[in-house]
Structure 1
Amino acid sequence: MQHRFIEANGIRINIAEQGEGPLVLLCHGFPETSHAWRHQVAALAAAGFHVVAPDMRGYGETDSPADPEAFTLFHLVGDMIGILDALGAPTAIIAGNDWGASVAWQAALMRPDRFRGVVAIGVPMMGQPPVPPTRIFPQTAEALFYTLYFQEPGVAEAEFERDVPTTLRKLLYAASGDAGPRVPGDGTPNPFGMVSRKDGLLAPLPLPNGLPNWLTEADLQAFVAAFARSGFRGGLNYYRNLDRNWALQAALKGRTVDIPALYVVGDRDVGLSMPGMRDIIAAMPTLVPGLEPPLFLEACGHWAPQESPERVSAAIIEFARRHST
């Protein structure tokens, strides 16, 4: 696996790259970098694909524009198109986890001419809500939903950057399958749930004595070094554009994802404990007519490419082989 910089969509993007053949583009989530796809890059390259995993806009060694409004889904999809253009690739299979899944869905929706298929992990395709998202998320006098906690610039950054290794250990463990099965309302600490206005997001999350078996110390340090360099501002700016995305996406209302699609989710993903999430997954075929049967990964949490690398790699390889010609 090699790393290099390319110029795309007006910014400099750091990519991890390996292999030759049809292009597969891998989009990571929050808080990750291209390193989250380390297993898939090797496996897909060995299977005969040209694999590219960028540090997404605002992460790792990729540029992080100063303007928070430069982090909409339209900018992020533009980055993916820019990567294809820089590589001279007319089309690609696109896959994403967490926020990367949102980028992948929108890339498939906006540019079916450039993407032959889409694999989304964790985050399902969702329709346009009737009001801006920040008006839907819950809050009380004592706590607010994590996406609302992320809205005020500097607040979450201050908490997360105080001790980057501890922040990442807590976030990665608490959203993983190692934290246990998720039952709505069971009180299990959830990094993507309600946040105390007084104590912040990290305080209630457990700090594991050791690392889970899917994350080595070297892997953790790769993430720590990346966020020590970039900070968390870029990744948090994705959340600060939720309402702006909603307004811009009004132009796409009524469109469906008409390319082949696969949805993969760990059965211990924290997202599945959110009210109504399983109903959203069941209703996806109305938005994604070419959706294949969803794949649920047993005993796997939110970081499926890292937690269940063989199963995720096999699913992407099988899908890409069917849709790369």
Structure 2
Amino acid sequence: MTSPHAPVLLAEVIEALDPKPGDVIIDATFGAGGYTRAILERGAEVVALDRDPTVQPFAEAVARDFPDRFQLIRTPFSGLAEAFEESGKAKLDGAVFDIGVSSMQLDQAERGFSFMRDGPLDMRMSDEGQTAADIVNTWDHGPLAHIFKLYGDERQSGRVATAILRRRVEQPFTRTLDLADVVEKALGGRRGAAIHPATRVFQALRIAVNDELGELERGLEAAEATLAPGGRLVVVTFHSLEDRIVKAFLTERTGNAPGGSRHAPVAVETRKPSFDLLFKGAREAGEAELAANPRARSAKIRAAVRTDAPAWGAAKGRGA
């Protein structure tokens, strides 16, 4: 079975990971197996992670082609450390994350991710937990408006939340196009808008349903705790919210977080950097890839190399 879409920034990911025969790499977002196949073709072993049960046929195809160097473990990012222990491998040489919803998931109307295709209002990347329908039919106005603003940057989040509460009294939401229509009307129609009015609301619901930002934070921390010295961490993001988390994580863990001023000094950080940047800042897709794959237009890649310093652990305020 071939991949239904081209993995974004594939050449850059492989260059950053630099997989070699004998290396063990975690592909934390297996999907259709695009990164995994490229890593395996370089001779490395892959422990693939994915919480989406629909990726199984792609995993079976990869396993047939690389029977001794590939395994898939169903888990979200936060289960990375446990999954690596389950794999039985001794040393982790690299980990790659591809954040967000895949075009494969968007194309499946029955998953409920898209406001362009009619389907059940689900949006779960796994087959567990609350759905988008659960959120829009049961959450109060304040929490709904909050996630639309925070996760979707929807400036009229309160108006959208009001419209949803008013409509659900008459009839609960069950379908994607139904919700998209209510959001569109609440925002005054399209009126030449560059993007569909429901784009931000659907993005916010998807992030909330799957706890995407929390999973990303816990996944990065798990990679830090699991990677061997010299192991490489590579992350591809598609949205500023995700990239901000990755940037902040690497800025802190490389010892480059801004310090206090002479008027407001901060305590000296005694922990040694757990990562060194592989390259400064974020890199983006080149013109050739942008022309061939429009999905790459918002993609950014950041990468770092694990030092031999102890892991810093969970972020302050989140607990261990």
TM-score by length of 1: 0.32
Q: Which has the larger radius of gyration?
A: 2
